[in-house]
């Protein structure tokens, strides 16, 4: 869902401008490389931290989990994304248990982060079968400062395949709940072999994201995790086409250097 803000231009004729709030979050952790250019902070607990704690449907202790949340919530008040890939709604046999574990984890997280901070689950919408949409709704009603963070990673060089998959997960989300922000996770590397995707494909993805009225923005991910970006990859990450393309896009999107902004939602340089 988009949030429409009515802005009034002072002076001249009063002209209502419909400006949608569109956040571009920087969840990259490449060495020596951050996006800036109006991108927004975001917090996330990676799968390599959460999966081992919850594998097989178990709960860590409250103290352990809260310490982890504090360790990873480095930008308090910005959204917190939980990447817990052992806790999906893909099976009716584990759904009740997973709902209880996720409800507990988000409740404990909320205990140690600022009031109203958004919490959401990475990839859960694309991993919820239709008979379990009510489970997702229960998870949301358990902590209503919620947002959706579906995966929009790249598996091939086809923009249309990528877009079809995005459309499909957005349709699922709209069926589950059409009132919350949707911020898909993008990644300038291929999911399969971790090489950086071609500049033109990345540019096309960014443009499709900005044009999709169902979205409230998106997240750019890029790991420090050696498994997906080793030393050789880190050394070139900032020189790959995606960074310049993303910055040029943000410049245009938010009117950073004085052109007319297409969207609101830019943060200060960070
Ligand atoms: C959310 O679920 C947890 C775990 O069952 C529970 O302790 C908590 O009270 C629930 N919160 C709300 C607001 O329902
Ligand atoms: C990585 O995978 C993509 C998508 O399948 C492919 O187009 C590309 O050629 C691969 N790159 C390398 C270096 O293998
Ligand atoms: C992407 O999909 C949307 C439908 O969700 C469609 O409106 C748009 O034209 C598509 N864009 C491209 C480049 O395929
Ligand atoms: C990061 O910057 C430091 C300081 O300039 C430099 O020594 C290091 O080689 C850089 N690392 C990469 C991966 O570029
Ligand atoms: C992107 O690269 C072009 C060509 O090198 C350069 O002129 C431009 O300033 C760069 N843009 C940003 C935002 O870094």
Kindly report, residue by residue over 88-147, the tens digit of the pLDDT.
999 999 999 999 999 999 999 999 999 999 999 999 999 999 999 999 999 999 999 999
With a 6 Å cutoff on the Cβ, whether 244 touches ligand 5 is yes
pLDDT at 244 over 50: yes
**Band of residue 267 on the pLDDT scale cut at 50, 70, 90:** confident
* Vertex 148: Cα angle to 229 and 265 (nearest 5): 85
Index of the ligand 1 atom closest to the CA of residue 103: 2
- Residue 154 CA, closest ligand 2 atom number: 4
Instruction: Looking at the CA of residue 143, tell me the nearest atom of ligand 1.
Output: 13
pTM: 0.92
User: 52-102: per-residue pLDDT in tens?
Assistant: 999 999 999 999 999 999 999 999 999 999 999 999 999 999 999 999 999
| Residue 17 host element (H or E) | strand 16-20
Residue 211 included in any domain: yes
Structural domains of the chain, count: 1
Q: What pLDDT was estimated at residue 59? A: 97
233 lines ligand 4 (CB under 6 A): no
Q: Is the CB of 32 under 6 A from ligand 4?
A: yes
Residue 41 lies in a domain: yes
Confirm or reject: Cβ of 235 under 6 Å from ligand 4.
Answer: yes
- Most informative mutation of 156, 161, 195 for ligand 2 (most atoms within 8 A of CB): 195
Is residue 263 one of the residues assigned to a domain?
Answer: no
Mean pLDDT of the chain: 91
Indicate which CATH number applies to the domain containing 141: 3.20.20.70
Protein residue whose Cα sits closest to atom 12 of ligand 1:
142
Extended strands (E) in the chain: 4-8, 16-20, 23-28, 43-45, 80-82, 119-121, 185-186, 217-222
Whether 1 maps to a domain, the answer reads no
Distance 202 CA to ligand 2 centre (A): 14
Q: Inform me whether the pLDDT recorded for 16 exceeds 80.
A: no
Q: State the distance from the centre of ligand 5 to the C-alpha of 223, rounded, in angstroms.
A: 24
**pLDDT over 80 (residue 12):** no
Q: In the structure, what pLDDT confidence band is assigned to residue 268 with cuts at 50, 70 and 90? A: low
Question: Could you give the CA distance from residue 152 to residue 133 in angstroms, rounded to a whole number?
Answer: 20
The protein residue whose alpha carbon is closest to atom 2 in ligand 1 is 103
**Residue 165 neighbours by CB under 8 Å, 6+ apart:** 152
**Gap from CA of 238 to ligand 5 centroid (Å):** 12
| pLDDT value, residue 13 | 33
270 in a structural domain: no
Residue 262 within any structural domain of the chain: no
Range(s) of the domain holding residue 226:
23-254
């Amino acid at each position: 869902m988009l949030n429409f803000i009515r802005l009034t231009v002072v002076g001249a004729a009063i002209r209502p401008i419909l400006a949608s709030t569109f956040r571009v979050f920087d969840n990259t952790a490449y060495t020596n490389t951050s996006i800036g250019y109006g991108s927004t902070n975001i917090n996330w607990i990676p799968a390599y931290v959460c999966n081992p704690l919850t594998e097989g449907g178990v709960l860590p202790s409250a103290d352990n989990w809260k310490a982890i949340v504090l360790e990873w919530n480095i930008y308090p008040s910005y959204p917190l994304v939980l990447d817990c890939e052992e806790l999906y709604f893909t099976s009716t046999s584990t759904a009740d248990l997973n709902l209880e574990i996720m409800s507990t984890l988000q409740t404990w997280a909320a205990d140690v982060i600022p009031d109203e901070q958004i919490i959401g689950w990475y990839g859960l919408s694309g991993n919820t079968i239709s008979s379990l949409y009510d489970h997702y709704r229960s998870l949301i009603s358990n902590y209503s400062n919620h947002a959706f963070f579906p995966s929009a990673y790249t598996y091939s060089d086809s923009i249309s395949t990528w877009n079809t998959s995005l459309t499909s997960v957005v349709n699922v989300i709209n069926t589950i709940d059409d009132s919350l922000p949707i911020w898909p996770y993008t990644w300038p590397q291929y999911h399969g072999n971790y090489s950086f995707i071609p500049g033109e494909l990345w540019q096309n993805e960014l443009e499709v994201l900005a044009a999709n009225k169902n979205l409230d923005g998106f997240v750019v991910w890029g790991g420090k995790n050696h498994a997906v970006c080793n030393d050789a990859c880190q050394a070139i990450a900032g020189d790959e086409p995606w960074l310049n393309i993303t910055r040029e896009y943000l410049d245009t999107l938010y009117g950073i250097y004085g052109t007319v902004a297409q969207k609101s939602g830019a943060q200060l340089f960070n």
